[in-house]
Structure 1
């Protein structure tokens, strides 16, 4: 009789452990599968635009390489346009856009502002490639997952421009790598 009770107790222990493991896996799935919200997208996209505008202005003034200055000006022009369109959409959707950079973007901008010459040019181009990789991922996710048709359309429409910016930065990197 006692052996049966021990076996039943062990069975309950095993089932309890299995339930705990499954519960933890469900929580991890929910955390990892968190859907991109419209507010998240607008805030992150606005931050990305602001970063591109600020660092692009910096490049158009600080760089001694024509291709880097041109890339900087191109980013300012295009991201100002997309930023204005995003601001209009955000206003319609009652989403507040931050007026300053996030901490991580501010750190990158400050690092760039402390550089000059070839060091600036190389870091700027590498930063633009990385920043556009992040933006492309964000906009791809938004184009796939957002429920709001206007924001989804904006993301879809803006993606080709972001990819062109990245390609432009990669071409300029080929030039700055020879410096």
Structure 2
């Protein structure tokens, strides 16, 4: 009897600990939550996999776009090279405009977008925040090259493959802009090569 009481007490303690450690509503990952809401709606409406891919693209584009704006603001404060500051200012402005267009489109389509940076994006922001001087410039620009390559490829794919015509149009409109950003990022990144 004592053994089972101990076991029950142990389980009770573990359950209380688990409840105390579980993330509260405000601590959910906004990106994961947006994906979940869209998947739930799509599941309820019994729509196709292609429409699900459209929703995933929209959430990814929103979270990546928000990160570009936040990193652009950070780089305007921390960058040491004028070319990096100029690039960062353009990224904050142009991605901000694209984010607004994306938000409008998502509202028209009844899709949920993350309201703030997801955990992965927050981690990227924190990591870059830890750099200073020319090391920050180099890390930021290397990140911009990688991010814009990935985004430009994804937008180009979706400009052909998106199920929804408006989402296809959005991707087609911004794919060349992202390619331009990639070219600019490579150019600035090359200028930093010889810096200590």
TM range (shorter): 0.7 to 0.9
Aligned counterparts of 2:163 and 2:87: Cα–Cα separation in 1: 33
TM alignment of 1:6-45, pairs within 5 A: 35=50, 37-45=53-61
Check if 1:97 corresponds to 2:113: yes
What whole-Å deviation, never above 9, does each CA across 1:11-32 have from its counterpart, x for those lacking one? xxxxxxxxxxxxxxxxxxxxxx
TM-score normalised to structure 2 length:
0.72
Cα deviations by residue, 1:37-73 (Å, 9 ceiling, x for unpaired): 2211110000111010000111111111000000100
| Counterparts of residues 8-157 of structure 1 (less than 5 Å) | 35=50, 37-157=53-173
- Whole-Å separation in 2 of the counterparts to 1:40 and 1:152: 13
Where structure 2 has 5 or more consecutive residues not aligned to the other structure, the ranges are: 1-48
1:103 shift after superposition: 2.5
Aligned length: 146
Which structure 1 residue ranges, 5 or more long, are not aligned? 1-33
Distance of 1:66 and 1:54 partners within structure 2? 18
- Within the candidate set 173, 176, 180, 1:164 is matched to 180
1:100 positional shift? 2.0
The RMSD of aligned alpha carbons is 1.2
